[in-house]
Amino acid sequence: MGNLDERVEGSKDELLEELKEFLRMPSISAREEGAEGFRECAEWVRSRLESAGAQAKIMETEGHPVVYAEIGEGDKTLLSYGHYDVQPPEPLELWESKPFEPAVRDGSLYARGVADDKGDVLARIQALRLYQEEFGPLPFKLKFLIEGEEEVGSPSLPAFVRENAELLSADACIWEGSIKDEANRPVIFCGTKGMAYVELRAKGPSHDLHSMYGGIAPNPAWRLVQALRTIKDENGDITLDGFMEMADPPTEKDLEAISRIPFDEAALKASWDVEAFDRNLTGEEALKEYLLRPTANIAGMQSGYTGPGSKTIVPSEAFVKMDFRLVVGQDHKRVVELVREHLKKRGFDDIEVVDMHGLEPAKTPVDSPVVRTAVAAWEDLGSEDAVVYPTIGGSGPTSLVATDLGIPTIMTGNVANAASRIHSPNESVRLADYFESVGYFARFFRRFAD
């Protein structure tokens, strides 16, 4: 496919300027203001798909619109999922350049959304354009589903998928979210964990009290600490009643895939600036914990006075935010009920459990045909070291397609890398990876057609 490489090489300036134009649009779904700019971004994506020859349209939801497109004819159908919304850029003072003014430094492109997920979205559209220039019309049907609410939990997507199940039907789906690992190897993910996100709220006196009453006044912060201690013990084991029993055990294929993953734990620890993983986990045990087992995580705690200096009080209220990452067999609604039942059984029924949001787990077999296609496309690019992960530690609305619609779904393409700082200031992608990704998706289309 030498001519394809030449097309990518000869189009780099055009491809980069098109990406910069996309990144200048501050499509922040977490903010209510800017709805007009959001629609402009969706319209821009629609226009890019039309320029690539697809029939594209804006489809309304209860929230931000979905961009849907189709192109090609044939017996097989591929669905491509992505999102055009981005995270808020704050804290702004930590950015080395303005988040919505794309900047190139040392071979990398910096901007909010470049790694998650605008770079990935546009690389696929550009690959479609270059594929047709090189090989002609697509010999299969390609569908694009590009939403605008992924960064706020995709609240409108479940209804959209249910109402458009026939429209979205496909033989396979390529999802957003893949990255290159610490050793710059391409990674293919075959699933996502689910999530139950809850807030535990405790109340004490009607107002903050002088801490001289600390021995007799009910302290909601201590109340939460005591309750949390019943959910996870000092050994790091999750002790929430019924939680672990819900989880399906990993398959033999999953365990085989884990054994083949080259895991550089020293590099990961160094990137976090820590000397050891939790519970001193190492090697395959650490990988199994990360990829195959559920978690109970404290994401944030707040109570009382947290400003400078001292203030001696008994706080009037306290809350903790928790996320439970779920594996196949667990579902978010049932997990929330388990938390309520568990706390009530232990006398903590005064603690309010608020269901913030949730996602279901999803998994595609690691030996699925679409996985083999993804690996072969990397080999066509000269990358013989692509790594197949049975799942990823994170979550997304993948189950809507992989489980509800029964479409084998993977993440591949690797626009981002382990140092891309997704969701953080100075988000970036390496330009070499971006242009490689454009060529990769064109090769994936070629392979999928076989």
Q: What is the pLDDT of residues 304-313, one digit of tens each?
A: 999 999 999 9
The pLDDT tens digits for 229-285 are: 999 999 999 999 999 999 999 999 999 999 999 998 998 898 889 999 999 999 999
Q: Return the minimum-mean-pLDDT range out of 31-40, 121-130, 168-177.
A: 31-40
Give residue limits of the domains in the chain.
2-190+364-449, 193-247+293-359
CATH code of 193-247+293-359, in short, is 3.30.70.360
Q: What is the pLDDT of residue 153?
A: 84
A 10 A CB-CB count for 255 gives 14
The model's pTM is: 0.90
The pLDDT tens digits for 153-195 are: 899 999 999 999 999 999 999 999 899 998 899 999 999 999 9
Judged against a pLDDT cut of 70, whether residue 2 lies above it is answered with no
The pLDDT tens digits for 200-220 are: 999 999 999 999 999 999 999
pLDDT band at 103 (very low <50, low <70, confident <90, very high): very high
> Check: CATH 3.20.20.140 for 2-190+364-449?
no
Mean pLDDT, the chain, rounded, equals: 95
Judged against a pLDDT cut of 80, whether residue 35 lies above it is answered with no
Q: What is the pLDDT of residue 271?
A: 81
Of all residues in the chain, what percent carry a pLDDT higher than 70? 99
